[in-house]
Amino acid sequence: MSEEIKITTPLDESIVLKLKAGDSVKITGNIYTGRDAAHKRLYELIEEGKDLPFSLEGQIIYYVGPAPAKPGYACGPAGPTTSYRMDPYTTALLEKGLKGMIGKGLRSKEVIESMKKNKAVYFAAVGGAAALIAKTIKKSEVIAYSDLGAEAIHRYYVEDFPAIVCIDAYGNNLYKSEPPKYRKEL
């Protein structure tokens, strides 16, 4: 496990290629939120050859549907949601320049292959650490699909958002490499 690495968005390819599975990172800059319903809409726009509501080039999408913000808070509790539900739409987004995804849980083979091809990285955030993560979100604005409520696409400005490089652009995968080290089954 290496030292903590500070990265800023948007990500260029040289940064992505330096990140290795197992690195702890602190992310600063703008990131975008999206989960099931927003992914479906982005995917449909790409399929139809239409413009997206924001450029994916070099960006990070955080798989999250936050709780409402209390007065005085920039954002409500906002931990990661399970990523595999976004898998059917992800390859299309990677082809459009998406460089990072933050979520939790396993990804499909297709997504990992596309990450290798398009040089992108998958970060894991700790599921359920929602109140703590929200502290690093300093600004939140809805930029598309406000009708979706918690599922709308938000732009967050984050400072030192804590995550772990889970699958790197070379296809190294912590979910595959780490558990066997602690497996004690006969």
Q: Which residues are identified as catalytic? A: 39
Q: Does 78 bind another protein (CB under 8 A)?
A: yes
Q: How far is the CB of 113 from another protein (least distance, A)?
A: 19
Could you say which residues in the range 122-181 bind another protein, by CB under 8 A? 124, 126-135, 149-150, 162, 164, 166, 174-175, 177-181
Radius of gyration of the chain (CA): 16
In 38-167, DSSP assigns E strands to 60-62, 100-103, 121-124, 137-144, 153-167
**What does the chain come to in residues?**
186
Q: Give, to the nearest 10 degrees, the angle between helix 87-95 and helix 109-118.
A: 10
Q: Which is nearer to another protein, 54 or 73 (CB)?
A: 73
Q: Which is nearer to another protein, 81 or 90 (CB)?
A: 81
Phi and psi for 130 in degrees, rounded to 5?
-70, -40
Q: How far is the CB of 108 from another protein (least distance, A)?
A: 13
Mask: binding to another protein, 80-119, rule CB under 8 A, as x and -? Answer: -xx-x-------------------xxx-------------
Task: Measure the CA–CA gap between 74 and 68, rounded to whole angstroms.
Answer: 10
Q: Where would I find the H helices in the chain?
A: 13-18, 36-47, 87-95, 109-118, 130-134, 174-177, 179-182
Q: Does 6 bind another protein (CB under 8 A)?
A: no
Q: How far is the CB of 14 from another protein (least distance, A)?
A: 26
Q: Which is nearer to another protein, 52 or 164 (CB)?
A: 164
In the three-class reduction of DSSP (H, G, I as helix; E, B as strand; rest coil), residue 140 is classed as strand
Q: Does 70 bind another protein (CB under 8 A)?
A: yes
CB atoms within 10 A of CB 184: 4
Interacting residue ranges for another protein, rule: CB under 8 A: 1, 22, 24, 37, 64-70, 76-79, 81-82, 84, 104-106, 124, 126-135, 149-150, 162, 164, 166, 174-175, 177-185
